[in-house]
Amino acid sequence: MECFLVLIFIRSVSPHLKAKYQKLEDLIRPWPSALVAYSGGVDSAFLLWTAHQILGPKVTGILGDSPSLPRSEHSAALAFAQKYKLPLEVLKTQELDDPSYASNPPNRCYFCRSELFQRMGEVARLRGVAVLAYGENFDDAQEIRPGRTAAGEFSVAAPLRDAGLTKSDVRALAKEAGLEVAEKPASPCLSSRLAPGLPVTPARLAAIEKAEEAIHRHGFRIVRVRHLGEKAWVQVSPEETPRLKDPSLQSTITRELLAEGFSGVDFDPKGYQGAGLR
């Protein structure tokens, strides 16, 4: 029945996109069993959902949990998996205990991914699971991403990428499938908000998370609070930036962020240039 539903939803997409989806299915179907790295973002959510449609209980999502994952993202990831009855397990990861990660080098993501993939590999060996997979897409493959190096070292499959599916393709397929993550904004980990070279600590991550939650409560959809060591640099999407320029609102937000331990707050007058669905 599940495979039948998959066939129904791809009937309405373009022939080009349908061919890509069918290639994705051809890549996944031979897997005897799999663990899929899952964050709740559109790529990993669509990959886990699709793999479950094809393989059923032979696939399990693995949500890596650490202080770098906002609690709101953790809850959303769990809720999505529960709604669609996707097998999911949470693994506590310890990347902050690794000085190579905590020192916040340019390739910080390599050490985070290595920790997750190593832990997933241990689970796979214990259970005899054949495949590890993650949600890198074709657009990601055109960029320099340290996490890809870790994926290669641990032989982690990237079927979205190998099927030629771009971010917009994944969003289009997710929308056709009726998945609410189709238009979910990108949400990199909290460590990405730290100034380069500023050590990653639980206290700094918690301050960033609380600061972003405070700004979200004012109705902003896309928010980045950059931790500069003492001060905060606040960004929202370019579309939302005009409202952020209101002096009264800035005064309120400044007061709230000072309460989280920042010594000062500055606001980006142009807005977060990476904002959007990418």
What is the C-alpha to C-alpha distance for residues 116 and 127, in angstroms, rounded to an integer?
Answer: 17
Residue 13 pLDDT: 78
Q: Fold match between 2-183 and 190-267? A: no
b (16+ CB within 10 A) / e for 229-268:
eeebbbbbbeebbeebeeeebeeebbebbeebebeebebb
DSSP-assigned beta bridge partners for residue 131: 34
Q: What is the CATH number of domain 190-267?
A: 3.30.70.2210
Residue 4 pLDDT: 42
What is the C-alpha to C-alpha distance for residues 228 and 232, in angstroms, rounded to an integer?
Answer: 6
Q: Residue 100 pLDDT more than 70?
A: yes
Q: Please give the single-letter amino acid code of residue 243.
A: R
Q: How far apart are the first and last CA of the chain?
A: 32
> Can you tell me the mean pLDDT for 103-127?
97
Residue 143 pLDDT: 82
Question: What are the structure tokens assigned to 172, written together?
Answer: 């289009």
Alpha helices in the chain (DSSP H): 2-10, 15-28, 42-55, 71-83, 99-102, 108-127, 146-153, 159-162, 167-176, 202-216, 241-244, 247-258
pLDDT digits (tens, 9 = 90+) for 10-49: 667 788 899 999 999 999 999 999 999 999 999 999 999 9
Q: Tell me the three state secondary structure of residue 94.
A: coil
> Can you tell me the mean pLDDT for 114-133?
98
pLDDT digits (tens, 9 = 90+) for 134-182: 999 999 888 878 999 999 999 999 999 999 999 999 999 999 999 999 9
Task: Give the predicted TM-score (pTM) of the model.
Answer: 0.92
- Give me the sign of the Cα torsion angle 142, 278, 41, 17: negative
pLDDT digits (tens, 9 = 90+) for 197-218: 999 999 999 999 999 999 999 9
Residue 6 pLDDT: 52
Residue 10 pLDDT: 66
Per cent of the chain over pLDDT 90 is 88
What is the C-alpha to C-alpha distance for residues 255 and 78, in angstroms, rounded to an integer?
Answer: 33
Are residues 108 and 191 in contact, defined by beta-carbon separation less than 8 angstroms? Answer: yes
Domain boundaries defined on the chain: 2-183, 190-267
Mean pLDDT for all residues in the chain: 93
Q: What is the DSSP string of 145-190?
A: -HHHHHHHHTT-B-HHHHTT--HHHHHHHHHHTT-GGGGPPP---G
What class is the 2-183 domain?
alpha beta
pLDDT band with cut points at 50, 70 and 90 for residue 5: very low
